[in-house]
Structure 1
């Protein structure tokens, strides 16, 4: 008997039984350990991200790891979405595909860069692949069909470019294809029509695709449920087959394209269709009548097209309709009463049309209305009685119509109301008392009606904006107004208010704008100002105010706009006004005396002190008597004549000496500055005193001094004669075929820009012009461009831009734009405002630069036709797509993009999911109700600044509104930014911020994009 057999006989039976159990267990553990090893290797390839620190070897691993799903003891799902993984696809070997049973791989929401990972071709069982929201670039491989088992493919929100490969049409199992928000520049492949199992197609936000019609082959996608093709550069008509063949469609989004023609009637035969979005196209004709019963449409958006005709009454058959958007078309006729019978209707927007008649009297009675926006039409009659029956109404926006009569009592008993905007109508009578004290009301705009009666004894504290200008309100400015402790904007101009300005009004710490012009107010201005730390605008002209200008007014830190004209104010102007930074000051038509403060002895304030017979100035160019003349003692006639002769002789001698000195200096200066014995070849236009020499100027235009270059030429840093001082010299290459007329226009524009004087605009010191080139000499900005600090290498430096610095930069740029748009005569439009044209000095003070595209306007607000597209991509407003007539609102749009860069840290051409630009990403982020703090730049995200950053983000949205007329002016922007600077100076959590939309009076999108 062998030793082994002998051993088995002696071995206890229970140990043999235990051994029989252990052996198979060890086999299974070895299998699990193999997948565990694969995943640990993968973790290392991914750079050992902290988010995967829980991946630790153990007997139960990897199936107990949060990111892993197993079936039958094998890994089937690898879920790594949003794990902050930063790597390249080159670091990904075929390790993943060693997981033989893996069918779902999710890498979305990370920072994976480089090209499409072709190593995944080895994953033979992969059915679900999600690589969205990463930094992948380059083309999608032409042989992508090697992933033949895929049923789900999401490559959205990356930087893929080139053609969408036709091979995608060779994935027979594909049910979901998402390629949204990339940089594809080819055509939409018709081969997608071969995907007979496709249910979801997302090609949205690929505006670089070649303009083309919707492929006819898409008619074969009979299983398609969702077609999401927003902003794909589609053209032509919507195919009729959509309604006849694609009968499974539940969501159709063709918005923001160039579609023309009429809306197919067959769309209203799709019984499963719930969401139909065709807004922002060029669709024309009438809205088709939905004649079929049983349709499931819940959202219908035909806004911003050129639809005509009336609203079909058959829309009342869409019993599931929740949202109806027909705004900004050419619709006319009456609003059909059938709409008031829709039981689910919540959002009703038909503003900016030509609708007439009255609102249906039962509107709101049978549904739960949330928003009604009917502004800018020709509607008349009274507001319906039942709009708030459902108790959910938050907005009544009905301005610029012909409504009349009294405001109904229900409007004062609707606790959900957040805004009432009925300005520019014919309403009359007293405002229902309950409206003033409505608990949630933030914005009340009643201007330009015939409302009368006294102001209320109490206003609820949540109200931030009250506009009652151009009505017939009478009596005193009620102390009750001061109960609105959150009040930001109060405009009561041109009423019949009387009495004194209540001292309690100065307790409103958040008030930024106070307008009481054109009333019958009397008495003195409040001598004690308690809490007006945020007040930036005070207009009290055309009243009967008396007394002196209180010294307390000179310590208001934000005051920039002051109008006290046409009153009876007397006494001297407080000398402390010297310290204030006014962008507008008007003290004319009063009884002021003495001299004006030194700060105002310049032409910028030449019209600020008119009609004050006892005022004087030292600057003879200011339209006031000269203080020296007023104080000169009286002489006899003979003495006066003698003195006059002596003074005349002195003047003649001084003029002769000055002429001689000027001629000598000019000759020497020309010899020193033009250099290389080519004085005659350079035409010099000087705007500031320079101290450059031949050696360090013309001879210094070398590569050693080069600091920038572009299509225009090169920029050099040149040392002056003063130690440590420099200028920036921009050398512009001339076109040889430039005619004399264009040359004269260029020099004329340079001269105008050279005479612009503002602390937030880079100084143009002089211009050298020759046949071959032009040299523009600017002041040198030590910290270069904002673009480099936000998006360049400086972004990662320890001294990167903090939020307070960014906010100050925004205020500086706004001050420059305000000067250009409102103070220059004629006004200046920059046309290329962007972060690379915003320069920073040694103290990070912002200055606007590069006026190479600037044009003059004869009158502010009047459009000026430009012959060619100007500006930079990412900053160009949408109106450039359909019009060459532009005004100052193009600068406002571009500045809005800069504000988004400051808040988010993102580049103007890089948005996020569903968007191809920063502007679109920001609007999408806001409209989807996402937390705004998630949009903030991680480098500066701080709870202490959340209030300010939120307000600036919202301001940026208003600046980038698609309609120029809804964008704020530079004046409004400056006021808001200054308010932001003071509203968030203490640490407060986001959510307590003031609402930026009521602050600017925004009406159109206040609820369309409500957070």
Structure 2
């Protein structure tokens, strides 16, 4: 029975009672404080006294003042240990903090399964375990967590399996985040019973099987954020999605949704962001909109038709509008020019027509204007760069005319100018030539006039002005265009000579000056064009001898000097030429022997003074003018003598063949060998086969044994694909793939296939031999001197190797027709010569694409763990971007010194690197300490970041190999790509988490062409 307080006061002095009451309460509070203090110190000890908890001591001030702790009424209610490099499991005694409501262990390296000891934290309201190495399944008894739980984040982990139905029993949940996991099971339909749910994110679970929405969306009447990006969602968008009245952001992009867009979506008055890009949606865009606060609308890469709704012109908050890659027709509504918030406007690759609204950019700070590949006519709007914010202007493949707006000359922030394939005329605005940030200057196939300036923006790498009416000479100031990679000025009216200063461009890979009126001699010091791949000077009036230095250009594979007035002999030419045209000149003398085959049948025509030793080139035979001597001699005596000699020679030949046959039989070489040569050889098939002995074996790779064989003038490497009697189909296909591809590729950074040899049961590939073997042996300290491992790959060598690999892959992707995808880029497939020049090897898995960028589906995934792009694993689709991913892993190996499989069984080096970027870690701390020097730190950081970009989850977010090569080649230049802004839109794809965005990896995808 409870005794009233007044009665106690009658029996005891009241003041004594109150003191006792206070003391009892204080003792209880002190006991709880001491208990929590002990638990926190035990946590520190369990985590092995990490430096970041150095202020956690028994003698320090109250633990409530520690930065990781928040207390309420002197009791711990919040513990935050995020981004702390914790690599141990969560301690089982953590719930000794009995009043804990907020727990954050995000972005550490915590291993193991879901930490079920957290079930004992009975007051937990907020739980963030994202960005860790958890594996296993989301537990089916997850409802054992606190009934008060409102926030649950398990994103960016390795959890797989189902989204369990028991999660729906946590009735107070307001936010569920399971983004960037490996979920590959079913999704609980019971989630729609969570009546308080405001935020649901299952995005980027690319492992999901095909599934349809299992929920009654009408129940989600409090849901504000609904993110199902990249979850393999199929079916149609339900009509009742319009009942989600609180919806603020909806993202169902990158799925397989079909059918039309429900009109109810645009009736959601609270909607500010709608993303449905990369689906198979069809039909017209709804023309009724009540979501007047819509700021982001992305419907790109679907099958939408019809017109752009006029009502979109009333969306005063619209900042991002992307309708690209659809089948839309009609005009752009005039009102779009008056939208005050519009920054990004993208409608490229549609069937749109008509003129452009003249006020575009006048009333908004326009940054991106992409309308390429439509049928627009008329002039460009004058005010596109009115506010000076324009970054990208992409209007190519239209019927636009008139002059470029003068205001573009004052657009200092412009990065990309792509106006090619239109009817533009007049002069280029003077300021555009020197626009400081301009990287791509692409104005080909128009009617522009004028002369080239002495100065060009130092940052321009692609300068394409072909098929215009430019005149005058190539200025001597061209030597200052130091970052130029592509210079295409074909089909203009340029005259004068080719200035010697043009040879001072070290990064030049493509130089096209054909179909002009150039005169004079070709500069002799072209030896500096070390990166040049394609040179076309045809249809000019150039004369003199072809410089001998042209034979020393290591990367040159395409050379066209036809229809000029060159004279003299054909000099030694680069051995890797695949396309050669010297026709219609005044050349004389003998054709170099290595070009005397039918591949070059049309390469030398129209040179009356040239001769060849073979009729295959349709030239005069070099010995055709020889006349018989001693015409007066007796022909009959000569005939008899000749017949005797022929008979003796036949007897001798038969004897030699018999001896050779017996020798082959003795060595088991009777099977007839067939040799197919791809260049001039100084050895025979028999010399190769007879030298394939055990002592010449140097290793095994792919599908066979590899030999090193001395052929007199040096060594060759021979790969033997062998299966005793009958070759398996798989091995035969691999062999033929490698032969077919390498026989058509000639590049200094791709291993040279000299010939192939085969008989009934063996196949041999003969390559150039590279003395320094493969990159992995050097990079991961597998090369030894005596008994001690030596690290010889300093940073300059590593950067040189990275550039070499990029040059080889860029050639395969962008300069081969059709493009070639390697599919197995890794350090063991990168070979090094004596100068540590890198060469891409082992093309057994390579595949040719029918069209650039076209996805091809393979029947099975083949590759090496740590290097395989995620979309290849999930869909077996092949594109150039899977090579880019693998190349990114190699860059991470070069910068960190770690191997591609660094991590545990569920993670890799690329995931480890991404995790560090996500938490905003210091990149310099991740670099290889063996080669790290202050002088190289910026370059190493840049290459590391490029590796991260190349290993982005989404293929569209990765740069092309050509762009990656440009970034690497720019290192060492002032203000080069080490600066973040010069990564262009690709750098923005790195999801650098801000404090307000810890929950999820940023979804920044480039939808440009």
8 A contact 1:761–1:816 mirrored in 2: no
**Cα offset, 1:855, TM superposition:** 6.7
The residue that corresponds to 1:8 in the other structure is: none
- Please, which moves more after superposition, 70-79 or 491-500? 70-79
Aligned partners of 2:562 and 2:212: how far apart in 1? 61
Q: In the TM superposition, what whole-angstrom CA distance separates every residue of 1:272-313 from its partner, at most 9, and x where no partner exists?
A: 111110000111111012343x62110000000001100010
Cα drift, residue 188 of structure 1: 1.1
- Cα distance between partner residues in 2 of 1:331 and 1:36: 65
Residue aligning to 1:433: 430
Taking structure 1 as the reference length, the TM-score comes to 0.77
Q: Quickly say closer, same or farther: Cα 1:158–1:757, change in 2 above 3 A.
A: same
Aligned counterparts of 2:852 and 2:634: Cα–Cα separation in 1: 52
Paired residue secondary structure (2:303): coil
Matched, 1:333 2:327: no
Q: 1:455 to 1:840 in 2, by over 3 A?
A: closer
Question: Measured at CA, do residues 695 and 153 of structure 1 come closer, stay the same or move farther in structure 2, by a change above 3 Å?
Answer: same
Change in 2 beyond 3 A, CA 1:653/1:866:
farther
Matches within 5 A, 1:245-260: 246-260=244-258
1:903 — aligned with what?
891
Deviations, residues 186-224 of structure 1 (Å, cap 9, x unaligned):
111112112222211110011221211112234322221
Structure 1 stretch displaced more, 485-494 or 266-275 = 485-494
Could you tell me how far apart the structure 2 residues matched to 1:286 and 1:911 are? 48
Using the alignment, how far apart are the partners of 2:310 and 2:652 within structure 1?
A: 88
Aligned residue number for residue 590 of structure 1: 585
Shift of 1:459: 3.5
Cα pair distance change 1:607/1:59, threshold 3 Å: same
Instruction: Give a deviation string over 1:600-623, Cα, whole Å, max 9, x none.
Output: 677776765554444567788777
CA distance in 1, matches of 2:503, 2:765: 48
CA distance in 2, matches of 1:448, 1:362: 27
Tell me which residue corresponds to 2:107: 109
- Give 2:120's match in structure 1, choosing from 97, 119, 122: 122
What CA distance in whole angstroms lies between the structure 2 residues aligned with 1:911 and 1:361? 56
Match of 2:159, SS?
strand
Match for residue 314 of structure 2?
Answer: 317
Counterpart Cα distance in 1 of 2:251 and 2:96? 40
| CA distance in structure 2 between the partners assigned to 1:640 and 1:819 by the alignment | 63
CA positional deviation for 1:99: 2.2
User: Which moved further from structure 2: 121-130 or 478-487?
Assistant: 478-487
Contact 1:443 1:998 (C-alpha < 8 Å) held by counterparts: no
> Where does the alignment leave 5 or more consecutive residues of structure 1 unmatched?
1-20, 885-889, 1000-1004
1:372 to 346, 369, 388: 369
- Structure 1 residues 250, 618: closer, same or farther in 2, change over 3 A? same
Backbone CA RMSD of aligned residues: 5.5
After superposition, what is the alpha-carbon deviation per residue over 1:321-376, rounded to whole angstroms, capped at 9, x for unaligned? Answer: 11111000010011111222211111110000000111112222222211111110
Partner Cα distance (2:725, 2:499) in 1 = 64
1:872-951 pair list within 5 angstroms: 890=878, 892-905=880-893, 943-946=937-940, 949=943
2:472 maps to: 475
**Partner Cα separation in structure 2 for residue 908 and residue 918 of structure 1:** 5
Q: Counterparts of 2:656 and 2:47 in 1: how far apart (Å)?
A: 75
Aligned equivalents of 2:143 and 2:446: distance in 1?
66
Distance 2:266 2:907 in 1: 31
Matched residue SS, 1:137: coil
What's the offset of the Cα at 1:657? Answer: 4.5
CA contact 2:360–2:383 (8 Å) conserved in 1:
yes
Among 953, 973, 984, which residue is 2:971 paired with?
984
State the Cα distance separating 1:946 from its structure 2 match: 4.4
Instruction: Select 1:273's aligned residue among 248, 271, 274.
Output: 271
Q: Distance in 2 between matches of 1:601 and 1:996?
A: 46
Q: Distance in 2 between the 1:503 and 1:708 partners?
A: 47
CA gap 1:258/1:552 in 2 versus in 1, 3 angstroms: same
| Structure 2, gaps ≥5 residues long | 1-21, 677-684, 784-788, 987-1002
Give the aligned partner of residue 220 of structure 1: 219
Aligned to 2:751: 760
1:119 partner SS: helix
Residues 397/918 of structure 1: CA separation in 2 closer, same or farther (3 Å cut) = farther
Contact 1:138 1:160 in 2 (8 A): yes
User: Any idea what SS the aligned residue of 2:163 has?
Assistant: coil
Contact 1:533–1:982 at 8 Å: present in 2 too?
A: no
Aligned mates of 1:181, 1:343 — CA distance in 2: 35
User: CA offset at residue 953 of structure 1?
Assistant: 5.2
- Give, in angstroms, the shift of residue 506 of structure 1: 4.0
Give the 3-state SS of the residue equivalent to 1:112 in structure 2: coil
1:769-823 CA-to-partner distances (Å, cap 9, x unmatched) read 56xxx877888999998789999999xx985977666655566666766887899
Name the CA shift for 1:788/1:221 in 2 (closer, same or farther; >3 Å): farther
Matched residue, 2:40:
39
* Equivalence for 1:143: 141
Contact 1:534 1:983 in 2 (8 A): no
Deviations 1:499-518 (A, max 9, x none): 12234444455544332111
2:563 maps to 566
Q: Which whole-Å CA distance do the structure 2 matches of 1:283 and 1:935 have between them?
A: 46
Native 8 Å contact 2:831 2:838 kept in 1: yes
Partner of residue 446 from structure 1, selected from 443, 454, 464: 443
Is 256-265 or 546-555 further displaced after alignment?
Answer: 546-555
The Cα shift of 1:72 comes to 3.5
Distance 1:513 1:527 in 2: 18
Q: Structure 2 matches for 1:188-267, cutoff 5 A?
A: 188-244=187-243, 246-267=244-265
* Contact kept? 2:821, 2:883, Cα under 8 Å: no
Q: Deviations over 1:808-857 (max 9, x none)?
A: 55666667668878999x97956744438835478777666665556789
CA contact (8 A) 1:137 1:161 kept: yes
Aligned equivalent of 1:10:
none
Q: Secondary structure at the match of 1:259?
A: strand
Structure 1 contact 347–371 (Cα < 8 Å) conserved: yes
Judged with a 3 Å threshold, the aligned counterparts in structure 2 of structure 1 residues 997 and 342 are, in CA distance, closer, same or farther, namely closer
Give yes or no for contact 2:586–2:607 (8 Å, CA) kept in 1.
Answer: yes
| Whole-Å separation in 1 of the counterparts to 2:61 and 2:27 | 13
Structure 2 counterpart of 1:526: 523
Write the distance in 1 (CA, Å) between the matches of 2:665 and 2:446. Answer: 65
Q: Which moved more, 1:806-815 or 1:98-107?
A: 806-815
Q: Distance in 2 between matches of 1:744 and 1:596?
A: 37
Q: Which residue number in structure 1 is paired with residue 69 of structure 2?
A: 68
The answer to whether the 8 A contact 2:283-2:305 is kept is yes
Aligned equivalents of 1:882 and 1:921: distance in 2? Answer: 23
Q: 2: CA distance between counterparts of 1:670 and 1:864?
A: 50
Q: How does 1:522-921 map to 2 (within 5 A)?
A: 522-527=519-524, 537-550=534-547, 561-572=558-569, 586-593=581-588, 609-615=604-610, 629=623, 635=629, 637=631, 657-658=652-653, 660-662=655-657, 664-666=659-661, 668-669=663-664, 672-673=667-668, 688=685, 689-691=687-689, 760=751, 799=791, 832-835=823-826, 838=829, 840=831, 868=859, 890=878, 892-905=880-893
User: In structure 2, the residue corresponding to 1:242 is in which secondary structure?
Assistant: helix
- What residue is the counterpart of 2:180 in the other structure? 181
Q: Is the 8 A contact 1:250 1:273 kept in 2?
A: yes
**CA 516–817 in structure 1, closer or farther in 2 if over 3 Å, else same:** same
1:745: Cα distance to partner?
A: 8.3
- Distance in 2, matches of 1:375 and 1:813, equals 32
Separation in 2, partners of 1:116, 1:401: 56
Matches of 2:656 and 2:51, distance apart in 1: 74
